[in-house]
């Protein structure tokens, strides 16, 4: 049963509206002014408020502004005998659904009330439709059919609709950020902000300001008020990536924000309410960090309400052929290759490898192999530099990164020039760099005595 609050200083009008709406099947409460109505709102849930505009103490619009601080999405229908355009615009601008002037008939009020609930039902239907569409595609960026990944997909679906904090743990390159995005996309907050911050990238001196904001003049170079990430993400989701890197001095303050759902800007004492769903990630073992005294146990427990452990690629190698096919299709489109496939023996080697850099490493070398192979339709092991790339975690120190990057750069430029018949503008566009950068690279290779068109 829908609940309606009627607020009017006219006893006869309150009584008429109470009887009419109750007869129509609504549960109705009445109040004589804004103050008593706010008291009712503090202890009761309502779907719609019908309020007079001119009342003693505070106007209907003033009451509406205060009421929405308690229940942000509460619907309002404003009644007044002062039906000026300016008054109507002000009420609607501040959040009223509709505006009706006195005198009015009971049928008019019933019509406006029914229209409001029909509108709400339509919004709910649209939201559910968007959710179903989101459910159909929410894992499109997460590739896998292994039991390990199906478990992760199930966990995402289970927790997405709640507001519970989620802690995602896994090695670098396993897709923790994509999982966080999927949780947000499947939540009731999907149309609200999704902000992310890498905790390891923030200087300790700026951490508090970055998260909670600061007032003008609160410290050197604070030339204007700045909203922090918690304010910017209000009603949405905030991803704290690599939470293990948060300074010890900030951990107690973050815990307090998570517990009280309020923040205080640097240079101010006023607490501001925030409604933020927090997702944290880490590639570190936080329980070990807690034991070593580098991370607060109470903060960990607050973040770890719903844990998701992302398996490394070496533990779900049945997904590798699917991932290879996905990335190959992606880069064929990106680099405009119509025909290109990976040889079976190469795919077997890729599938058997340990991939210490996980999915990110796999994606990077598929892209490189596509570029190395140039116009060749068959991608083989030589295009992957498999001897240096497909290493176990214990062998990563042997990768000759500088040599590999330098060789890769030359080969990419060579292939781009070859495909564009030495058109530097088109080649630069294909490579995603400026013509000036390409020209500088070619000048450098020329000084080294290397003809890029004779690299084969």
Q: Quote the pLDDT of residue 72.
A: 84
The CATH architecture annotation of domain 314-454 reads: Orthogonal Bundle (1.10)
Q: Quote the pLDDT of residue 420.
A: 79
β-pair type (48-52, 75-80): parallel
Domain locations in the chain as residue ranges: 3-125, 139-311, 314-454
In words, the CATH class of domain 139-311 is alpha beta
Q: Quote the pLDDT of residue 131.
A: 59
Q: What are phi and psi of 372, to 5 degrees?
A: -60, -40
Q: Quote the pLDDT of residue 276.
A: 95
Distance between CA atoms of residues 290 and 300, nearest Å:
8
Encode 91-109 in three state secondary structure: HHHCCCCEEEECCCCHHHH
Token pair 């303050």 in the structure block, residue:
253
If the chain, 456 residues long, is cut into consecutive pieces of 10 residues, what is the mean pLDDT of each piece?
92 91 92 92 90 89 90 88 69 84 84 89 72 51 88 93 94 93 91 92 88 82 83 95 92 94 90 94 92 94 95 92 93 88 89 87 89 87 63 38 55 78 80 77 76 55
- What CATH code would you report for 3-125? 3.40.50.2300
CATH topology agreement for domains 3-125 and 139-311: yes
Q: Answer whether 144's CB lies under 8 Å from 319's CB.
A: yes
Q: How far is CA 426 from CA 171, 257, 421, 435, in A?
A: 38, 51, 9, 9
Distance between CA atoms of residues 155 and 74, nearest Å:
32
pTM of the model: 0.60
Q: Answer whether 361's CB lies under 8 Å from 369's CB.
A: no
Q: Quote the pLDDT of residue 38.
A: 94
């Amino acid at each position: 049963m829908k609940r309606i609050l009627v607020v009017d200083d006219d006893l006869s009008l309150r009584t008429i509206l109470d009887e009419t709406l109750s007869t129509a099947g609504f549960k109705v409460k009445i109040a004589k002014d804004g103050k008593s109505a706010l008291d009712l709102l503090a202890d009761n849930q309502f779907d719609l408020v019908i309020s007079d505009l001119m009342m003693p103490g505070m106007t209907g619009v003033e009451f509406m502004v205060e009421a929405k601080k308690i229940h942000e999405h509460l619907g309002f229908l404003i009644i007044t005998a002062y039906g000026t355009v300016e008054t109507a615009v002000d009420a609607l601008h501040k959040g009223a659904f509709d505006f009706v002037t006195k005198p009015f008939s009971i049928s008019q009020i019933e019509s406006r009330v029914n229209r409001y609930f029909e509108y709400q039902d339509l919004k709910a239907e649209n939201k559910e439709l968007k959710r179903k569409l989101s459910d159909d595609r929410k894992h499109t960026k997460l590739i896998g059919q292994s039991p390990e990944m199906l478990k992760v997909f199930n966990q995402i679906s289970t927790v997405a609709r709640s507001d519970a904090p989620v802690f995602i743990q896994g090695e670098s390159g396993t897709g923790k950020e994509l999982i966080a995005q999927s949780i947000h996309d499947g939540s009731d907050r999907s149309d609200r902000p999704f902000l992310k911050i890498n905790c390891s990238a923030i200087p300790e001196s700026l951490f508090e300001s970055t998260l909670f904001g600061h007032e003008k003049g609160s410290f050197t170079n604070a030339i204007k008020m700045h909203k922090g990430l918690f304010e910017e993400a209000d009603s949405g989701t905030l991803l704290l990536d690599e939470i293990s890197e948060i300074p010890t001095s900030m951990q107690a303050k973050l815990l307090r924000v998570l517990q009280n759902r309020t923040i205080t800007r640097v240079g101010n004492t006023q607490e501001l309410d925030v409604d933020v769903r927090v997702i944290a990630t880490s590639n570190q073992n936080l329980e070990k960090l807690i034991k070593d005294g580098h991370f607060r146990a109470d903060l960990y427990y607050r973040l770890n309400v719903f844990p998701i452990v992302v398996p490394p690629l070496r533990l779900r190698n049945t997904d590798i052929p699917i991932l290879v096919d996905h990335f190959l299709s992606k880069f064929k489109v990106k680099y405009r290759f119509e025909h290109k496939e990976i040889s079976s023996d190469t795919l077997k080697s890729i599938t058997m490898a340990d991939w210490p850099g996980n999915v990110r490493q796999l994606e990077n070398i598929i892209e490189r192999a596509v570029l190395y192979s140039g116009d060749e339709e068959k991608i083989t092991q030589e295009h992957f530099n498999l001897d240096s790339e497909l290493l176990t975690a214990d062998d990563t120190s042997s990768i000759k990164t500088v040599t590999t990057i330098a060789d890769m750069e030359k080969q990419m430029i060579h292939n781009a020039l070859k495909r564009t018949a030495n058109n530097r503008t088109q080649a630069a566009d294909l490579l995603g760099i400026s013509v000036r950068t390409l020209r500088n690279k070619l000048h450098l290779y020329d000084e080294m005595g290397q003809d890029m068109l004779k690299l084969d």
